[in-house]
Structure 1
Amino acid sequence: MTTTPDILCIGSVLWDVIGRAASHMRVGSDVPGRITRLPGGVAMNIAMTLRRFGMTPALLTAIGRDAEGDDLMAEAARMGMVCDHIYRSDDLPTDVYMAIEGANGLIAAIADAHSLEAAGQKILTPLADGKLGSDAAPFHGPVALDGNLTEELLQDIAKSPLFARADLRVAPASPGKAERLLALLGHPSATFYVNLEEAGLLCQTRFDDSAVAAAALIARGAHRVLVTDGGNSASEGTAGDIITQTPPAVMVTRVTGAGDTFMAAHIASEAHGVDRAAALTRALNAAATYVSGETPL
């Protein structure tokens, strides 16, 4: 029997291949460290944190029918995610993300989400064929969208009746893909989760603090925004109503997935009825704990 999900996570589900070193690194560095392969991708990272908060996410993504894809499906099912609606491709390989991290943070990363992009609308089929919804009875509940989807698909989602009743929670996959989200800026139920750099890209400028960035995004048409700035203050709000908090200071041991952890913790907090100030606090605490290395991957 198929489990009913609390939330849909739509976007990249792939393998993260992460090399971490304890030393500071620069371009050309060759240092000892550890290399791990773990389930990742924005949608998967969000889903993993949602599970830790007691929610049951369903994944809508593309995963290849290869050995890597079979392993990834098995791992997602083991963690308690609903995998019944994942599009499995016979001719597209399972996507992968590769990153190098040093003591001074992320050095470089490459996200190969070409299979997700190629699958396009196919990953949304369960929202139209009655399994999760239809045009006449669209899915009603929270939906986490990530910027690894193509700009064309995000434009379709912005005007699709399949998302007319959804509580959209939107995040860029990276600063390099932030501008893909412009299509959703005017959506009446979309909440944007961006960092300071991504906010600047969406507004075609640079910001010095999260509150100014949040106000600018709202002025550009965003319904609701959350803007983070690493260890500096983060802001959440809608038009004329912005709150700002400072995250706890911690020793940073990892950065990949921190923004996804923040977003998922915030979504789960609100799903459990926590007020907006407390939800922002819980999300900042969860992200700080994550980057300190205290939360299991």
Structure 2
Amino acid sequence: MTSTPEILCIGSVLWDIIGRSSSHMRVGTDVPGRIIRVPGGVALNIAMTLRRQGMVPALLSAVGKDAEGAELLADCRRRGLITDHIYLSEDLPTDRYMAVEGANGLIAAIADAHSLEEAGDKILRPLSNGMLGRADAPYSGLIALDGNLTEALLAHIATDPLFAQADLRVAPASPGKATRLLPLVEAGRATLYVNLEEAGLLCQTEFPDAASAAAGLVARGAKRALVTDGGRLSADGDADAVITRQPPEVMVTRVTGAGDSFMAAHIVAEARGADRDAALKAAQAAAAAHVSGETPYD
């Protein structure tokens, strides 16, 4: 499809392979359950949620010229996502993510995003070659960026003039990759979406709650920080104030993609003119619907 995007989603576009059981699990547990394969990756999860809520996202990522890649791109286009700007690799396979979830939450996960990492700055070419922007007219719209990019590329984005005019919204791919975002924090250019653990890793400390974590990230240099803490208070902080809100209580049936749903719903709410409190409420509602299973995999 060809259209004008309202937001760019930059990062991982891959297949999620998720095993889920209704039983509590621990290391070595062997239980019955279901195994599904669905389109995923932080950038794609955000894009799908944005599209369901009426925005038109374009994907900037790397996908292999293999059967899995062709199937994934066809699925993205069917969902109304713009795939024209995705880098297609002849020699890199389409990335995958594998997770095991039990009644007690995420048990383990492995993200194989090596193709995205190896593609490097090739995925950003549309921002400089005139398709979406160029040096003398940088892209000035919304960008959702995920932390599956390499540390070097994220550091480059933090200071690259091509991103200077953008409304940059950033999320780590996982706690294990959270520290990759440090250059973006210190550059003071981005709005961060993190959980309490990720905030602590970025600030090299432990925070007792989301409010102190948001304040800590802003003190570290972040333009703005939204911090979640499971069923406890979430926070939205900038240099002027930190606000908090209690998320709705729900039965947790899945966890993969909850943070992506939160971020996407928050972006949509603000794009439609919601104030900070209303946007935070909308983000929490979307995350709650996701973890409770009310939002189906489609």
Give 1:139's aligned residue. 139
- How far apart, CA to CA, are the structure 2 residues paired with 1:267 and 1:187? 21
CA distance in 2 between counterparts of 1:176 and 1:183 reads 16
Of 41-50 and 184-193, the range deviating more from structure 2: 184-193
Post-superposition CA distance 1:96-150 (Å, at most 9, x none): 0000000000000000000000000000000000000001001111101100000
CA distance in 2 between partners of 1:242 and 1:206 (Å): 18
Report deviation, 1:16: 0.1
Q: Hey, what's the Cα distance between the residues in 2 that align with 1:101 and 1:164?
A: 39
Question: Could you report, residue by residue, the CA deviation over 1:213-265 in whole angstroms, capped at 9, with x for unpaired residues?
Answer: 11111111111000000111000020240000010000000000000000000
Does the Cα contact within 8 Å between 2:189 and 2:222 map onto a contact in 1? no
Cα deviation, residue 186, structure 1: 2.8
What's 1:3 paired with? 3
- The 3-state SS of whatever aligns with 1:186 is helix
Counterpart CA distance in 2 for 1:93 and 1:217 is: 36
Indicate the residue corresponding to 1:232 in structure 2. 232
Runs of 4+ more than 4 Å apart: none
Cα distance in 2, alignment partners of residues 31 and 110 from structure 1: 19
Q: Deviations over 1:4-58 (max 9, x none)?
A: 0000000000000000001000000000000000000000000010011100000
Q: Which residue does the alignment assign to 2:79? A: 79
In the alignment, structure 1 residue 281 sits paired with structure 2 residue 281:
yes
Letter in 2 for 1:104: N
Secondary structure of the residue aligned to 1:116 is helix
Cα distance in structure 2, aligned partners of 1:189 and 1:80 = 29
Distance in 1, matches of 2:12 and 2:196, equals: 22
Q: Percent identity?
A: 70
Count of residues in correspondence between the two structures = 297
> Which structure 2 residues correspond to residues 108-123 of structure 1 after superposition, within 5 A?
108-123=108-123
1:208 Cα deviation after fit: 1.4
Could you report, residue by residue, the CA deviation over 1:78-113 in whole angstroms, capped at 9, with x for unpaired residues? Answer: 000000000000000000000000000000000000
AA aligned to 1:221 is: G
Secondary structure class of the residue paired with 2:72: helix
Between the aligned partners of 2:261 and 2:12, the Cα distance in structure 1 is 15
Q: Does 1:183 align with 2:201?
A: no
Counterpart in the other structure of 2:95: 95
Pairwise CA distance, 1:188: 3.9
Q: Secondary structure at the match of 2:121?
A: helix
- Counterpart AA for 2:270: E
CA RMSD, aligned part only?
A: 0.8
Equivalent position SS for 2:187? coil
Partner Cα distance (2:201, 2:148) in 1: 16
